[in-house]
Structure 1
Amino acid sequence: MNYEKLIEVIRTLALEAGDKIMEIYNADDFDVKVKSDSSPVTEADEAADALISAGLRAAFPDVALVTEEQSASHDITAKTFLIVDPLDGTKEFIKRRGDFTVNIALVEDGVPTRGVVYAPAKERMFYTLADGSTVEEEGPFSKVAAGTTKPIRVSSPDNGALMVVASKSHRDQATDDYIGKYAVKDMRSAGSSLKFCLVATGEADIYPRVGRTMEWDTAAGHAVLTGAGGDVVRFDDHSPLVYGKDGFANPFFIAYAPGVALKDA
């Protein structure tokens, strides 16, 4: 894989998809449908999926592609594949709360190694460079060339005063019970894969997810966090969260800055 080309392509596609999403987001109204798993899908999800899929297939025709909106047709046995959530945080999008992202990642041998997370409504963009390290790019963003970037790094956590980030739309008692095992200084809620990015920048120390997610929800954020020195492990036994699983469903997990003394489930 040519990582330089990959980062250039996925950064540009994320920006183009973000423009399409915001065009629909800012309209007076948009269509919302319900998928077979009862989750919502909008015309923005579908338009962004079509745009990103076409761009990735043109640039990397020999690399397998997994996207949320085409997941029913996937039968991936490839060790290397691109994985896309064209609009992560559809519920946030529908409620016009801004906490939604475009997620594009590369998975190699079960590990998300490169990725981009773009939050168009918040004008924040995070991505790995060719060497695997993570940066945040400062807006305004140009599709022609990358602008000013700054390296980001996870925090050095204080286990007596942790910063926790949790889901905005999927918060439940099980999550609160687990968070209650830690000494928490402050807590914030965020939607979509932004939670990984807040840990990556040091704005939070830990993000526990006690709930259903799919690999396309997490791969890009996982790559961004890893490139900033963080880690993502299974909730049950703290082993690495791996990708390419049958059906693409994730177990519960914890994303964190090394130094956090993880509690047992």
Structure 2
Amino acid sequence: MDYIKMTAVFRKLALDAGDKIMEIYDADDFDVRAKSDESPVTAADEAADALISAGLREAFPDVLLVTEEQADTHSESAANFLIVDPLDGTKEFIKRRGDFTVNIAYVENGTPVRGVVYAPAKGRMFYTDADGNTVEEEGPFDHDKQGLTKPLKVKTPDNDALIVVASKSHRDQATDDYISKYKTADMTGAGSSLKFCLVAAGEADLYPRLGRTMEWDTAAGHAVLNGAGGAVVRFDDHTHLTYGKPIYENPFFIAYAPGVELKSA
């Protein structure tokens, strides 16, 4: 795989999709509909998906593309594949809270090895470079030319004063009970795949998710965290979270900076 090309394509498509999303986000009103699983979808999800899908299929015509908004792709499988959530955090988008992201990733043999997470309303963009290392690019962004980047690395955690990040829209008692097993200095809430990026950037140590997610929700963030030296493991047995599972559904998981003393379920 040409990772130099992949990095450039992912970055540009994420920025282009972000512009489409913000056009709708900044409008006076937009329609919200329910999909078959009762999750919300907007014109922004669909416009971003159309743009990203077309770009990826043109750039990588021989690689399987799995995307949240195209149900017919959910029954396909391959050892290596592209996986997209064009607008993760639709609930945050609808509430105009800004914590939504564009997510594009490439999975090789069960592991997300390249990815981009772009939060257009927050002006933050994280991605893996051609060597697989994670960077954050400084805005404002030029769609055709990479700007200044800084390398990201997870920080060394203090197990007596951990910073924990959890979901804004999917927080529940089980999650709070699990977090209570740790000694925490601070708790922060974030939407979408930004939680992985906060750990990757050293702004948090631990992100537990005790709820249903799909692989398109997590693959790009997982790649970003991997490239910064972090890890994502299953909640039940702490083995590595792998991809390409039936219907692309995840088990509960924990994303963390190595050095965190993980607690059992």
Q: TM bucket by the smaller chain?
A: over 0.9
Identity percentage over the alignment? 77
The reply to whether residue 143 of structure 1 matches residue 151 of structure 2 is no
Aligned equivalents of 2:73, 2:207: Cα separation in 1: 31
Q: TM-score, normalised by structure 1?
A: 0.99
Q: For residue 98 of structure 2, what is the aligned residue in structure 1?
A: 98
- Write the letter of the residue equivalent to 1:178: Y
TM-superposed deviation, 1:32: 0.6
The reply to whether residue 15 of structure 1 matches residue 15 of structure 2 is yes
Aligned equivalents of 1:156, 1:203: Cα separation in 2: 11
Aligned equivalents of 1:63, 1:37: Cα separation in 2: 27
Checking the alignment, whether the CA contact within 8 Å between 1:128 and 1:224 is kept in structure 2 is yes
The reply to whether residue 255 of structure 1 matches residue 255 of structure 2 is yes
Name stretches of at least 5 consecutive residues in structure 2 with no aligned partner: none
Secondary structure at 2:157 match in 1: coil
Q: For residue 191 of structure 1, what is the aligned residue in structure 2?
A: 191
Checking the alignment, whether the CA contact within 8 Å between 2:65 and 2:73 is kept in structure 1 is no
Checking the alignment, whether the CA contact within 8 Å between 2:67 and 2:73 is kept in structure 1 is no
| 1:17-39 Cα distance to aligned partner (Å, 9 max, x none) | 00000000000011111001110
Aligned equivalents of 2:157, 2:145: Cα separation in 1: 35
Q: For residue 233 of structure 1, what is the aligned residue in structure 2?
A: 233
Q: TM-score, normalised by structure 2?
A: 0.99
The reply to whether residue 77 of structure 1 matches residue 56 of structure 2 is no
> What does 1:207-222 correspond to in 2, within 5 Å?
207-222=207-222
Aligned equivalents of 2:104, 2:71: Cα separation in 1: 15
Name stretches of at least 5 consecutive residues in structure 1 with no aligned partner: none
Checking the alignment, whether the CA contact within 8 Å between 1:76 and 1:244 is kept in structure 2 is no
Aligned equivalents of 1:150, 1:50: Cα separation in 2: 30
TM-superposed deviation, 1:76: 2.4
- Write the letter of the residue equivalent to 1:84: V
| 1:158-197 Cα distance to aligned partner (Å, 9 max, x none) | 0000000000000000000000000000000000000000
Checking the alignment, whether the CA contact within 8 Å between 2:115 and 2:219 is kept in structure 1 is yes
The reply to whether residue 59 of structure 1 matches residue 55 of structure 2 is no
Aligned equivalents of 1:156, 1:50: Cα separation in 2: 40
Q: For residue 175 of structure 1, what is the aligned residue in structure 2?
A: 175
Aligned equivalents of 1:255, 1:130: Cα separation in 2: 23
Checking the alignment, whether the CA contact within 8 Å between 2:64 and 2:81 is kept in structure 1 is yes
Q: For residue 164 of structure 1, what is the aligned residue in structure 2?
A: 164
Checking the alignment, whether the CA contact within 8 Å between 2:105 and 2:116 is kept in structure 1 is yes
Checking the alignment, whether the CA contact within 8 Å between 1:99 and 1:190 is kept in structure 2 is yes
Checking the alignment, whether the CA contact within 8 Å between 2:66 and 2:73 is kept in structure 1 is no
TM-superposed deviation, 1:73: 3.8
Give the ranges of 4+ consecutive aligned residues of structure 1 lying more than 4 Å apart after TM superposition. Answer: none
Secondary structure at 2:78 match in 1: coil
TM-superposed deviation, 1:83: 0.2
Aligned equivalents of 2:58, 2:74: Cα separation in 1: 18
TM-superposed deviation, 1:77: 2.5
TM-superposed deviation, 1:75: 2.5
Q: For residue 116 of structure 1, what is the aligned residue in structure 2?
A: 116
Q: For residue 3 of structure 1, what is the aligned residue in structure 2?
A: 3
Q: For residue 131 of structure 1, what is the aligned residue in structure 2?
A: 131
Aligned equivalents of 1:77, 1:214: Cα separation in 2: 15
